[in-house]
Amino acid sequence: MNNLDTKKPETWWRELCWVTDQICVTGDLNSDRIKALEQLDGWVEAGVTHIADVRAEWSDKAFVNHYAPNMKYLYFPTHDNGGLQSDHWFDHAVDGTVSALAENPQHKVLIHCHMGVNRAPTLALAVLLELGWDALDAMEQIRATRPIAAILYAIQAVDWDSRRIGLGDEQRQDRLDQVGQWLTENRVDVRWIISRIRGAENSQPRAARITPPFRPVTTLNHTLAGAADIDAF
């Protein structure tokens, strides 16, 4: 039974989905400041050392740097319009993420976009490819740990990787055909998933994100009691 049969897409949205011991895929921080602080506290408790944010539409760098100063914020912004992801984006995002993982075996990188459906899973796939994973094995692992991962840009990630490692045209095309077949045979209803997440998003009050200056804090837990008083941006 697919995990989506027993768990709603909106529940998976901000679930921490560990693809490996060091790589996690999820959605972004909540727009509600109190919930965002609780969520960030959970990331710290889970041992996350680096955040790889791939959203072009927003950055929580100031928020994270203030409330979790020991967590490194990596920003690899890109679109989610269904078009081409550039080789430059793949190069920059993969190299930055792999470097963070290689620095210390205890490092844990949390990769997120807004919903954790396409961009973040695609970067996770590209990182696994760079680490030597077979493309289909990597996609199976991502989908098994995060059932709402559609991985829309998977073919682009595999094409980028195939050219990066110097595969010939025939080998590259065979690899792309295999990935395309996997996506067809393991299709998820992206519109339904996004609509459920969007519905959950629209049902909660829209709170402004917070930016410096902040009230001085000592720990994340201590922050929560006074967070409602913080001036919003």
What domains are defined for the chain?
A: 10-188 (3.90.190.10)
Dump strand ranges (E) for the chain.
Answer: 17-18, 23-26, 50-55, 72-78, 109-112
What pLDDT, on a 0 to 100 scale, did the predictor assign at position 204? 76
Residue 170, C-beta contacts closer than 8 angstroms, at least 6 positions apart: none
Residue 58, C-beta contacts closer than 8 angstroms, at least 6 positions apart: 28, 114, 209
Rounded CA-CA distance 3/12 in Å is 10
Environment class of 183 (CB within 10 Å of its CB; exposed 0-12, middle 13-18, buried 19+): middle
- pLDDT band (50, 70, 90) for residue 7: confident
Q: What confidence tens digit (pLDDT) does each residue in 116-131 have? A: 999 999 999 999 999 9
**Is the dihedral angle over the CA atoms 103, 73, 152, 159 positive or is it negative?**
negative
What pLDDT, on a 0 to 100 scale, did the predictor assign at position 24? 98
What pLDDT, on a 0 to 100 scale, did the predictor assign at position 3? 65
| 55 contacts 118 by C-beta, under 8 angstroms | no
User: Facing residues of 88 across strands?
Assistant: none
What pLDDT, on a 0 to 100 scale, did the predictor assign at position 99? 98
What pLDDT, on a 0 to 100 scale, did the predictor assign at position 136? 98
What pLDDT, on a 0 to 100 scale, did the predictor assign at position 26? 98
- Percent of the chain scored above 90 by pLDDT? 84
Tokens of residue 158, six digits: 């595999």
